[in-house]
Structure 1
Amino acid sequence: MHVSSGGVRGAKKSGRKPGFDADDVVAAALAEGIDTFTMSAVADRIGVVTGAIYRLFPSRDDLVVACLDTAAATLRLPGRDDDWASVLQLWADECWRVCEDFPGLSRLLYALPTAFTRIQHVLAAYSAAIERSGRSTAQAMFALDFLGDTVIASHMGIVAMRVVDADGATGWDRVRDALADGALMQPDDSWAERGTVDVKVGFIIKGLERDWPAL
């Protein structure tokens, strides 16, 4: 076998793979889906072996937490002079936006009991803004929880309406086909979009304008 100064003839060139860091891993996991990614799929997306991912994140749970923190970092905070109704509207808008921006998040938030612990600083900022309007901490947290649950649960249902099956039919299509003409509930475009969510949010805020629970 002839060995030249460049190495074994015909052998693959050796060398370091392109570098990657924790941010690259998080981005790959988010691209795979925050609720469904696997460590091997993340590694494949980056172009490294799975073991390399574990050197940065010892477990999948650690990577999930990093993904949640990345999503939480995008949440807008209320202004100091915002009234409580504007604060709650912003919270509802941000809950919707973050679920849209990070596919699978709404599902993960219900599947992972500790998910909300990653936004304690965000909840504290929103609660403080509502308390400046004369509400108690318990009342502020009730309103934030009520609206957050409403928006996130609604988003999860809307995602199911958008999913396309192997035949090219969406969840909305399947529901429409399953309901007979004249059924009490008839699907419309709002079932796959935000329209009904805004109605629910407005209803809750209007209700709080009339009465807050004594907490």
Structure 2
Amino acid sequence: MGERVRRKGTSGTTSSRMGRPPFADREAIVAAALEIGLAELTMTAVAKRLGTSHSTLYGYFRSRDELAAAAVDYAVDAIEWPEPEQDWRAFLAATAWAHWRLYSSHPGLAQEIITLRLTSAALVRRYNRTGVALLDYGFGGQDATLVMDMIAELVVQAFVSTAEGEPTAQPSAAPQARRRALIEPWLESYDPRLRATLVAAVAGPPEAWFERKVELFLDGVAGRGPALPPS
């Protein structure tokens, strides 16, 4: 039901009409923040999108960063994450790609993480679950922690090079475009044996280069982790 708004008519008498005040609760505010995107997120932008006041937003969130943390929690929980199976390598690869989908879907998230602007409770829970799964696979505590941290960092670094505010129809392609702009003017400075690989890396799909990084990383983990189960 909307609230009844009273106003004066041209004759000086008061008339009434049914109005519908802007609706903004915690869920609507978080949804608006994700629609705007973390790279462009401000309290002003959210208030404008919802057609409400700043004071309404601050009734739910004390700051822009608190709102961003809540938005990231929602985004993390919305991603389909892998469950541990018999093969630890397959589990870690699937975890890396789940992180990729998260950062690809939400431009600006990598910058939020790398600059320590926020801590997402949902992301912390996800890191912990990955670490506990590694312990259950037979990794030692130190190696489980290192692998958990490094696989998350691997994905963050794939996205953090995106220029702030750089528009792109395909979010995952933005870091690749940024690297291309940085590397191409200097290609002649690289040894020819490296140049062809660099050209392929910056010219091809970003997912292909990321897949190679994940495979190399997992090869390194295999040298310290438990043996894979027999096929």
Scaled to the shorter chain, the TM-score interval is 0.7 to 0.9
Q: Judging changes above 3 Å, is the alpha-carbon distance between structure 1 residues 116 and 48 closer, same or farther for their aligned structure 2 residues? A: closer
- Where does 1:81-92 land on structure 2 (aligned, <5 Å)? 81-92=85-96
- Secondary structure at 1:23 match in 2: helix
**In the alignment, structure 1 residue 53 sits paired with structure 2 residue 35:** no
- Where does 1:164-179 land on structure 2 (aligned, <5 Å)? 171=178, 174-175=181-182, 178-179=185-186
Q: How many residues align?
A: 201
The residue number in structure 2 matching 1:6 is: 15
The residue number in structure 1 matching 2:37 is: 33
- Secondary structure at 1:20 match in 2: coil
Q: Which moved more, 1:51-60 or 1:85-94?
A: 51-60
The residue number in structure 2 matching 1:163 is: 166
Deviation readout 1:74-112 (Å, 9 max, x if unpaired):
243432434211221122111111001111111111012
**In the alignment, structure 1 residue 108 sits paired with structure 2 residue 93:** no
For the aligned residue pairs, the C-alpha RMSD in angstroms reads 3.0
1:124, distance to aligned residue in structure 2 (A)? 2.5
**In the alignment, structure 1 residue 208 sits paired with structure 2 residue 217:** no
What is the distance in 2 between the residues matched to 1:73 and 1:39? 23
The residue number in structure 1 matching 2:210 is: 197
What is the distance in 1 between the residues matched to 2:30 and 2:164? 27
What is the distance in 2 between the residues matched to 1:163 and 1:154? 15
The residue number in structure 2 matching 1:19 is: 23
TM-score by length of 2: 0.74
1:18, distance to aligned residue in structure 2 (A)? 3.3
Pairing partner for 1:97 from 95, 101, 105: 101
1:177, distance to aligned residue in structure 2 (A)? 6.0
- Secondary structure at 1:87 match in 2: helix
What is the distance in 2 between the residues matched to 1:116 and 1:21? 20
Q: Which moved more, 1:98-107 or 1:28-37?
A: 28-37
Q: Judging changes above 3 Å, is the alpha-carbon distance between structure 1 residues 49 and 162 closer, same or farther for their aligned structure 2 residues? A: closer
TM-score by length of 1: 0.78
Unmatched 5+ stretches in structure 1:
8-12
Unmatched 5+ stretches in structure 2:
1-9, 169-176, 227-231
What is the distance in 2 between the residues matched to 1:172 and 1:161? 14
What is the distance in 2 between the residues matched to 1:119 and 1:111? 15
